[in-house]
Chains A and B, each alone.
Chain A
């Protein structure tokens, strides 16, 4: 089944059916990733560009590998950008890419809405690899995929998202995706890092981590950035780790078989203790593999190439 959407801009407006198709398709690609020889010819002759206005080795490599495992041609564009020295405008860059005739553009940008702007100017499919604090749909999809693989379902599970919700695109996309898939979503973090009216997104909001974690099936821990301390949003990393850092003690409130997730990279000893990160309840390493599988599914679905299911035969 083809996707209804032609771009992957966010999960807020993505149809639930599309989410399900992506998760289903990713299962086959996960199997490919478990093989010795991972390369399949699915997207031979297709090309994609990764356009990263923010440094991110993880996400970029994940997309790049996803494309390469399916034999697509992958070109990387890096752009240093700031509001003062913007250089070439996004619109002009979009035009340039258009002329190169690529099928898919993967964009990471510090400004919310940049992928949407790109999508307005491009015929190529646009995949949002993170726009400001707005959305990071492929991360949320890989999180959903991980939960589904580990727990067998998403519906009815209690998922706690802990940390800096205010600046987190991962949190926003996860909230939309989890709600669509029928999970119960709760959040917790310092009051200063919880955006206003968060509850109107259909999630419960706590400032005590223990309240959020209570009886949770999944705890998704967000990365905290030192920069937020400098802006006066919390006093110190030390205090943050004491009150909001997830360690075995706080995890006692969760279900016994709680699944621990983190989008990475980890600040060990700050938002997550090493003991928790390295425990068998943690799926942090598997999330990385699943990220490639989900991105393969997305690129495959956007760029066509045979029917879903067929790729499992390669």
Chain B
């Protein structure tokens, strides 16, 4: 497919401040023009009238599980899931087996992703060798192999000095340090937010403070070192406030939040549905409101899924024993539309910004824009369409979603990567 015209859609590209009915002309996988009434010979036409056309969505926090945990997900199924969710680019966390703490694993991931070819997969390298929190991994070497950030996600860096060195060292390569903020001594054996619900259920709680003290520590170290800090999956009111203050002081910090943290509270754990078990845990209504406000005022830059697919066996067990995580790629966009856009918290353009150019800028990749010359990564969205979430239809191997059966607004009509259609909604 050499020439493609996407006709008559409402084009929203926050990177250029565009929000208008327009056509997009694509040639050889690149954006050629975004203009009204484009007419080119020998071009395939995609009718996008009545739909929203945006730069391909980007999710900078996913777990693709390969290598090592292919029963949960692999790069192919994860790529299919991403495309079905409207994502053309994802950044994947290094907590695989072996972990992505060296060049060979990073290259395995990029090579495999290229062979699958559905979406752009950007690996995130481990901060420390073996995710052990002891010695820095070969960050520079991994940068040459294509990592876009470093993180020990899931294995929080407890050693403050290592975090200091990570922020210093990674700054040479302009790589963000993505911090999963959790004081492991304080979160302990916790499985749920510490609060009234944990008291009623008699479950071990993870206090908001366990997240906040590490966010405070990392912000302080970022200020000290000048390193680039990105706070992962912000879930508490206090954490939002810390980031807001840090930004006001001019500290180099960005932040992300997940759909489950701006839609669900710990009350949903009362069903003992293990699909509500996630880390950081679902918090209180007050925290949910604070995350929404953080998204609204720009404290939180990006929306990510923390896509954490698991097998049925990982989840169909007692709550205490179930794995943490939610399979999120295929519900993210409708949750954003239903709970942030349709409620007036974000304009559609602001929401798209947090799913395109903002995450692209955090990991420093030339994506998330429809500027002429860019890769033709495009998502076409039907925001009026009502859907009922059905995990059985997920492309992801992970069916672990607390949103199964939810009625939401908004649906991905088509996902295009480098001018190729990688997902088309057949309307079922």
Interface residues, chain A, with chain B CB atoms under 8 Å away: 12, 83, 86, 89-91, 109-114, 116-117, 131-135, 167-169, 172, 195-198, 200-201
Q: Does B210 contact A (CB under 8 A)?
A: no
**Stretch from B111-119, B312-320, B350-358 at the A interface:** B312-320
Judge whether A111 and B321 touch: CB under 8 Å.
yes
Judge whether A90 and B203 touch: CB under 8 Å.
no
The interface residues of chain B lying within 8 Å CB-to-CB of A200 are: 196, 199
The interface residues of chain A lying within 8 Å CB-to-CB of B198 are: 195-196
Judge whether B200 and A90 touch: CB under 8 Å.
no
Instruction: Tell me the minimal C-beta distance from B281 to chain A in angstroms.
Output: 14
Judge whether A114 and B318 touch: CB under 8 Å.
yes
Q: Report the separation of the CA atoms of residues A84 and B313 in the bound assembly, to the nearest whole angstrom.
A: 13
**Of A91, A112, A116, A201, which contacts B320 at CB under 8 A?**
A112
Judge whether B319 and A91 touch: CB under 8 Å.
no
The interface residues of chain A lying within 8 Å CB-to-CB of B194 are: 196
Judge whether B319 and A195 touch: CB under 8 Å.
no
Q: Report the separation of the CA atoms of residues A89 and B313 in the bound assembly, to the nearest whole angstrom.
A: 9
Instruction: Tell me the minimal C-beta distance from A89 to chain B in angstroms.
Output: 6
The interface residues of chain A lying within 8 Å CB-to-CB of B272 are: 112-113, 116-117
Interface residues, chain B, with chain A CB atoms under 8 Å away: 194-196, 198-203, 205, 272, 313, 316-321
Judge whether B195 and A132 touch: CB under 8 Å.
no
Judge whether A110 and B317 touch: CB under 8 Å.
no
The interface residues of chain B lying within 8 Å CB-to-CB of A131 are: 202
**Of A117, A134, A167, which contacts B201 at CB under 8 A?**
A134
Q: Which 6 A-B pairs have the closest CB atoms?
A: A133-B202, A113-B272, A111-B318, A134-B202, A195-B199, A197-B196
Judge whether A83 and B320 touch: CB under 8 Å.
yes
Q: Report the separation of the CA atoms of residues A116 and B318 in the bound assembly, to the nearest whole angstrom.
A: 10
Judge whether B202 and A135 touch: CB under 8 Å.
yes
The residue on B at minimum CB distance from A167 is: B202
The residue on B at minimum CB distance from A53 is: B318
Q: Report the separation of the CA atoms of residues A131 and B318 in the bound assembly, to the nearest whole angstrom.
A: 11
Judge whether B317 and A196 touch: CB under 8 Å.
no
Judge whether A83 and B321 touch: CB under 8 Å.
yes
Judge whether B320 and A86 touch: CB under 8 Å.
no
Instruction: Tell me the minimal C-beta distance from A79 to chain B in angstroms.
Output: 12
The interface residues of chain A lying within 8 Å CB-to-CB of B321 are: 83, 86, 111
**Of B196, B316, B318, which contacts A113 at CB under 8 A?**
B318
With A86-B317, A198-B199 already in contact, 8 other A-B pairs whose C-beta atoms are closer than 8 Å: A111-B320, A113-B318, A132-B203, A132-B320, A169-B202, A195-B205, A196-B196, A197-B196
Given contacts A196-B194, A196-B205, contact A113 B319 (CB under 8 A): yes
Q: Report the separation of the CA atoms of residues A113 and B276 in the bound assembly, to the nearest whole angstrom.
A: 13
**Of B196, B203, B205, B317, which contacts A134 at CB under 8 A?**
B203
The interface residues of chain B lying within 8 Å CB-to-CB of A196 are: 194-196, 198-199, 205
**Of B196, B203, B317, B319, which contacts A133 at CB under 8 A?**
B203
Given contacts A195-B199, A196-B194, A197-B199, contact A112 B319 (CB under 8 A): yes
The interface residues of chain A lying within 8 Å CB-to-CB of B196 are: 196-197, 200
Q: Report the separation of the CA atoms of residues A135 and B313 in the bound assembly, to the nearest whole angstrom.
A: 26
Q: Report the separation of the CA atoms of residues A114 and B203 in the bound assembly, to the nearest whole angstrom.
A: 12
The residue on B at minimum CB distance from A135 is: B202
Instruction: Tell me the minimal C-beta distance from B418 to chain A in angstroms.
Output: 44
Q: Report the separation of the CA atoms of residues A233 and B225 in the bound assembly, to the nearest whole angstrom.
A: 37
Q: Report the separation of the CA atoms of residues A113 and B321 in the bound assembly, to the nearest whole angstrom.
A: 11
The interface residues of chain A lying within 8 Å CB-to-CB of B317 are: 86, 89-91
Q: Report the separation of the CA atoms of residues A201 and B201 in the bound assembly, to the nearest whole angstrom.
A: 12
Query: Could you give 19 example pairs across A and B, Cβ below 8 Å?
Result: A83-B320, A86-B317, A89-B316, A110-B320, A111-B318, A112-B202, A112-B272, A117-B272, A117-B318, A131-B202, A134-B202, A134-B203, A172-B202, A195-B199, A196-B194, A196-B195, A196-B196, A196-B199, A198-B199
Q: Report the separation of the CA atoms of residues A90 and B318 in the bound assembly, to the nearest whole angstrom.
A: 8
Residue among B201, B203, B316 with the most chain A CB within 10 A? Answer: B201
The residue on A at minimum CB distance from B194 is: A196
The residue on B at minimum CB distance from A197 is: B196
Q: Report the separation of the CA atoms of residues A134 and B269 in the bound assembly, to the nearest whole angstrom.
A: 13
The interface residues of chain B lying within 8 Å CB-to-CB of A197 are: 195-196, 199
Instruction: Tell me the minimal C-beta distance from A192 to chain B in angstroms.
Output: 13
Instruction: Tell me the minimal C-beta distance from A306 to chain B in angstroms.
Output: 35
The interface residues of chain B lying within 8 Å CB-to-CB of A110 are: 320
Instruction: Tell me the minimal C-beta distance from A185 to chain B in angstroms.
Output: 14
The residue on B at minimum CB distance from A109 is: B318
Instruction: Tell me the minimal C-beta distance from A202 to chain B in angstroms.
Output: 12
Q: Report the separation of the CA atoms of residues A114 and B319 in the bound assembly, to the nearest whole angstrom.
A: 8
Given contacts A116-B272, A196-B205, contact A201 B316 (CB under 8 A): no
Q: Report the separation of the CA atoms of residues A200 and B267 in the bound assembly, to the nearest whole angstrom.
A: 15
The interface residues of chain A lying within 8 Å CB-to-CB of B200 are: 12, 172, 201
Instruction: Tell me the minimal C-beta distance from A201 to chain B in angstroms.
Output: 7
Instruction: Tell me the minimal C-beta distance from A85 to chain B in angstroms.
Output: 11
Q: Report the separation of the CA atoms of residues A22 and B187 in the bound assembly, to the nearest whole angstrom.
A: 40
Judge whether A91 and B316 touch: CB under 8 Å.
yes
Judge whether A111 and B319 touch: CB under 8 Å.
yes
Judge whether B199 and A112 touch: CB under 8 Å.
no
The interface residues of chain B lying within 8 Å CB-to-CB of A91 are: 316-317
Judge whether A132 and B202 touch: CB under 8 Å.
yes
Q: Report the separation of the CA atoms of residues A135 and B198 in the bound assembly, to the nearest whole angstrom.
A: 13
The residue on A at minimum CB distance from B316 is: A91
Residue among A12, A113, A131 with the most chain B CB within 10 A? Answer: A113
Q: Report the separation of the CA atoms of residues A117 and B316 in the bound assembly, to the nearest whole angstrom.
A: 9
Instruction: Tell me the minimal C-beta distance from B200 to chain A in angstroms.
Output: 7
The residue on B at minimum CB distance from A195 is: B199
The interface residues of chain B lying within 8 Å CB-to-CB of A135 are: 202
The interface residues of chain A lying within 8 Å CB-to-CB of B316 are: 89, 91
Instruction: Tell me the minimal C-beta distance from A7 to chain B in angstroms.
Output: 14
The residue on A at minimum CB distance from B204 is: A133
The interface residues of chain B lying within 8 Å CB-to-CB of A109 are: 318
The interface residues of chain A lying within 8 Å CB-to-CB of B202 are: 112, 131-135, 167-169, 172
The interface residues of chain B lying within 8 Å CB-to-CB of A114 are: 318
Judge whether A112 and B205 touch: CB under 8 Å.
no
Instruction: Tell me the minimal C-beta distance from B236 to chain A in angstroms.
Output: 14
Residue among B194, B196, B202 with the most chain A CB within 10 A? Answer: B202
Instruction: Tell me the minimal C-beta distance from A160 to chain B in angstroms.
Output: 19
Instruction: Tell me the minimal C-beta distance from B323 to chain A in angstroms.
Output: 11
The interface residues of chain A lying within 8 Å CB-to-CB of B201 are: 112-113, 134
Judge whether B199 and A201 touch: CB under 8 Å.
yes
Instruction: Tell me the minimal C-beta distance from A280 to chain B in angstroms.
Output: 33
The interface residues of chain B lying within 8 Å CB-to-CB of A83 are: 320-321
The residue on A at minimum CB distance from B313 is: A89
Instruction: Tell me the minimal C-beta distance from B322 to chain A in angstroms.
Output: 9
